[in-house]
Structure 1
C-alpha cells in the first residue's frame, strides 16, 4: 500500500550504481529504512542531493509491516536547505546530531511530538540566527525530553554538582569520576532555562562549549542503551577545533 508521509533524512548508503538505502525518521511510521531507486546518475543527480542528512521530505512510500526495508515511490523537499550544507559550523553540528539521532532513534516508533521537534529544529538550524555556534548543545540537551532521558532539574546551593551517571544534581562528590564540578554544573543548570533566542548565552568560548558538549554526549552514552560510543565527536575536535 502507498502512504504519504513526511520524513527527516538521517543518512544514506549507496546501493549499486544509481540507488540508495535511506534511513529516515518519518511522521507516520517512526524510524524506517527505504530503498530509493535511480537517484544517482546523470539524469537523477539532483535527487541524490536531497538524500543528504537533515533534508525534510514529502514522501510517497510502499510500506509493509513485515519488511525491514521499504521502498520510496516519490519524494520531494518540504523546503530546501539554504545554510546547513554550506556552513562549516552547521555541517559539523549536523555530523554529530545525525550520528546521535541515527543511533538514538533506532527502533523508535511513531512519535508525533518528537517528529515535530525535529522538524522545527532543522528549520531553525537552517535559518539566520545569532549564537548558532552553540546550537548543537541546545538541541542535544532538549532532545533528551523526547527520548525519556531528561536530567532532573534540582540544581541549588545544596545540590550543586551534576552526577552524570544518576542524571541529577547531588550535594557532594560521588564515588565515581563521572560528575561535573560546581562551575560546570552551573553551566549545565542554565540550559534548563535557555530558549532559542538566547543561544549566545550558552557558551562564550570554546572551553565552555567543549566541556558542555562532552558532558551531554557522555550523559547520552550512559543513559541510552543504543547510543554506544559517539565516534563523530573526536573527528569534529580534529577537523573543527574552534566549533566543538
Structure 2
C-alpha cells in the first residue's frame, strides 16, 4: 500500500527505534515503527518524521501487529515556513499535539485529509495575518469529527452548551457552557474562512481564552482527550 500522509506524532522506542503515527489518506491513522539504522544520509531523512510533515509512505499491511513497518518513507511536500518561522513553529507544535489526540482513532477519511492538508498548506504560504488560524482551523475541523455547532441556532443572548454543541436561550443545568458574550464568538469564527479570519481583531487575552474554550470543547467530545501541554508555550510566543 502507498499513500500520502501527515505525521502526527513521533516517539523514540527503546534505543534503536522510533514510532511514527501518520494520518494516511488511504488508511487513516497508522502507527509505523522505524529502525534507527534506517534514519540518516542513505535512509529515511529525519525531516520525514517531524510533526506535521507531509510524507509519502509505502508499506505492506500486517494484520498481526498494530505497528507497521514502512518500506519507504519520504517527504511529499516540504514546508516553506512552518519549521523556521518561530510563531508558526510554536503554532505547528500545538496543532500537531492537538491533531494527534483528535485523530488517533480516525479511519480512512479522504475529505478530512484534504481539509487538513489544504489548510496547513495555506498556513505555510502566509507571511502575515495568520494569528487566528489555529482557532478557525480547529473549529472547522469539528465538521469532520461529528460535533460541529449549528450556528443557525444562535441569536443574541444565547448560551452555548459545550456538551451538546448547541445554543440555547436557557442556561444549561451543568457547568460546561459559555455565557452569551463568549457564545457570540463561536458563530463568528465558524462563519469565517481562512481568508476572512484576518478581519477579526482579538487581543492576546481573548485569543488565549478562545483556545481554552476550543480545548475544553474537544475534551468533552473526544474520549481521553488530554489538556494541552503546549498551550502555555503558544501563549507566551504570541504575547
Distance 1:128 1:104 in 2: 25
How far 1:39 moved relative to its partner? 4.1
Partner deviation per Cα, 1:187-220 (whole Å, 9 max, x = no partner): 2211121011112134431122112111111110
Q: Which residue of 2 aligns with 1:23?
A: 21
How far 1:227 moved relative to its partner? 1.3
Contact between 1:20 and 1:39, CA under 8 Å: does it hold in 2?
Answer: no
Q: Which residue of 2 aligns with 1:209?
A: 207
Q: Which residue of 1 aligns with 2:155?
A: 156
Residue 240 of structure 1 pairs with residue 237 of structure 2: yes
Within 5 Å, give how 1:134-173 maps onto structure 2. 134-153=132-151, 154-157=153-156, 160-173=158-171
Contact between 1:10 and 1:54, CA under 8 Å: does it hold in 2?
Answer: yes
Q: TM-score, normalised by structure 2?
A: 0.90
Distance 1:160 1:16 in 2: 52
Q: 2:185 aligns with which of 184, 187, 190?
A: 187
How far 1:235 moved relative to its partner? 4.2
Within 5 Å, give how 1:65-104 maps onto structure 2. 65-104=63-102
Q: SS where residue 4 of structure 2 aligns?
A: strand
How far 1:241 moved relative to its partner? 5.1
Contact between 1:18 and 1:40, CA under 8 Å: does it hold in 2?
Answer: no
Q: Which residue of 2 aligns with 1:199?
A: 197
How far 1:60 moved relative to its partner? 1.4
Query: Measured at CA, do residues 19 and 36 of structure 1 come closer, stay the same or move farther in structure 2, by a change above 3 Å?
Result: same
Q: Which residue of 2 aligns with 1:35?
A: 33
Flag structure 1 segments of 5+ consecutive residues without an equivalent: none
Distance 1:44 1:199 in 2: 43
How far 1:22 moved relative to its partner? 0.6
Residue 111 of structure 1 pairs with residue 109 of structure 2: yes
Contact between 1:81 and 1:126, CA under 8 Å: does it hold in 2?
Answer: yes
Contact between 2:21 and 2:30, CA under 8 Å: does it hold in 1?
Answer: yes
Contact between 2:136 and 2:190, CA under 8 Å: does it hold in 1?
Answer: no
Range that drifts further, 167-176 or 84-93: 167-176
Contact between 2:189 and 2:197, CA under 8 Å: does it hold in 1?
Answer: no
Q: Which residue of 2 aligns with 1:128?
A: 126
Range that drifts further, 8-17 or 80-89: 8-17
Q: TM-score, normalised by structure 1?
A: 0.88
Distance 1:147 1:115 in 2: 12
Q: SS where residue 132 of structure 2 aligns?
A: helix
Q: SS where residue 73 of structure 1 aligns?
A: strand
Q: Which residue of 1 aligns with 2:46?
A: 48
Q: SS where residue 120 of structure 1 aligns?
A: helix
Residue 4 of structure 1 pairs with residue 41 of structure 2: no
How far 1:112 moved relative to its partner? 0.9
Distance 2:201 2:61 in 1: 44
Flag structure 2 segments of 5+ consecutive residues without an equivalent: none
Query: Measured at CA, do residues 44 and 21 of structure 1 come closer, stay the same or move farther in structure 2, by a change above 3 Å?
Result: farther
Q: SS where residue 104 of structure 2 aligns?
A: coil
Q: SS where residue 139 of structure 1 aligns?
A: helix
Aligned length: 237
